Every structure is written in structure tokens, then in C-alpha cells.
Copies of this chain bind each other. A is one copy, B any other.
Amino acid sequence: MEYFPPALETLIEQFARLPGVGKKSAQRLAFFVLGLPDDDAQAFSDAILDAKKSISLCPVCCSFTEGEGLCPICASSKRDDATVCVVADPKDVAALERSREYIGRYHVLHGVISPMNHVGPDDLHIKELVERVATGNIAEVIMATNPTTEGEATAMYLSRLLKPFNVKVTRLAYGVPVGGQLEFADDATLTRALEGRREM
């Protein structure tokens, strides 16, 4: 037996399909939406369709962009064309931008190579990266995939792929995170931090 009216059950099911949202959370979210003023519920509903309709991938870096144009970063004339930072996900662009350190361009793969999850090189935006490196005036490609096994493997694969183009390929530094505590750092991180030590 259903305890809630069909329209409510449908809304709960829709929320339950979202990643990381279980049945209980979906109920809570659906009840919250029911309690919203009409305008707010309409705005939520519209935001889904608007984003879906107007967001596409930037033709240059494959990050999200509005409509058919370049993304804000590719469109900016203030960025350094000679450096491209390769990330797995659009949210990694946001993370790097927050550091306010990087002034080059980006390239978003939309995933990493993962045989376990049936993701191969052809499922990622690697072709677009190779084209950029082949035709553009790029001096350095920074591999900024996650420091996980799959992120490593993807960076390694790309660095081999880009070798023929005579471009400098670098990898983000490994080491102890700033503000962290040595006693909680894992062995692999400490090993990398020692290997990468620099004169003060």
C-alpha cells in the first residue's frame, strides 16, 4: 500500500534517484518542497529545465558553458594561452580557481579512465585535448587529475599521448596538505613529501 498520494510518491522517487539521496532523505526533501511557497517551487522546477536547456560543453575546454559560446574562462582575454590544466571534472576547475593562483586555461575530461567502471579513453574528452595541443600554441600541460590510482593512470596515459607534440607535461606536486598534521598523513603521502622536499 502507498501511504502518500501518487504525486507525492512520484516526487519522493525523483529525489531518491539523485546520487547520495536515500529513501528517507528523499522523503524529507519532498516534504520540504511541498512546504515551499508556490513561487519558490516554481523557481526550483524552472531552474532544472533552464540549466538543462541552456548549459552545454564549451567547444574549447569542454567545461560547462551557457548556450553555444565559450565558457567564461576560455572567453577571457586575461588568461595565459600557453598553459592548459587538465582536470577530470568541472568542479575541479572551481577548486583550482578558488586558489587564485592559476592564470592559464583548462581542459575538462569529464571523468577518468576506469576499466572497472567501463570508462575508456574514448568516453572522455581526450580527442579535444589532443587537437588543442596539436593545433594550439601550448607550452605546458599540467595534469591535475585526482591523486588516486585512476587519476594517476589517466595522467600517465595522457602524458604518453601528448609526447609526440613536444609539449611540457607536468603533474601537480604531492606532499603533506597545508594545515594538516604529520601524524595523520599516510605513508605514501609522507614518502612523496620527502621525495619532493625543497631547499628552504
Contact = CB atoms under 8 A, between A and B. Distances in A.
A169 B46 CA distance: 47
Given A2-B72, A32-B18, A7 B51 contact: yes
Contacts of A7: 47, 50-51, 53-55, 66
Contact of A48 (B41, B89, B97): B41
A65 interface: yes
Interface string A68-111: 00011100000000000000011101100100000000000000
A178 interface: no
By size class, the interface of chain A is 35 or more
A200 B182 CA distance: 58
A19 B32 CA distance: 7
Chief secondary structure at chain A's binding surface: helix
B42 A45 contact: no
Contact of A44 (B14, B20, B27, B89): B14
Number of copies: 2
A29 B73 CA distance: 23
A168 interface: no
A183 to B, nearest CB: 27
A52 B5 CA distance: 12
Nearest to A13: B47
A4 B64 contact: yes
A51 to B, nearest CB: 4
A25 B15 CA distance: 13
A13 B89 CA distance: 19
Interface of A: 1-8, 10-11, 13-14, 17-21, 25, 27-34, 36, 38, 41-55, 64-66, 71-73, 89-91, 93-94, 97
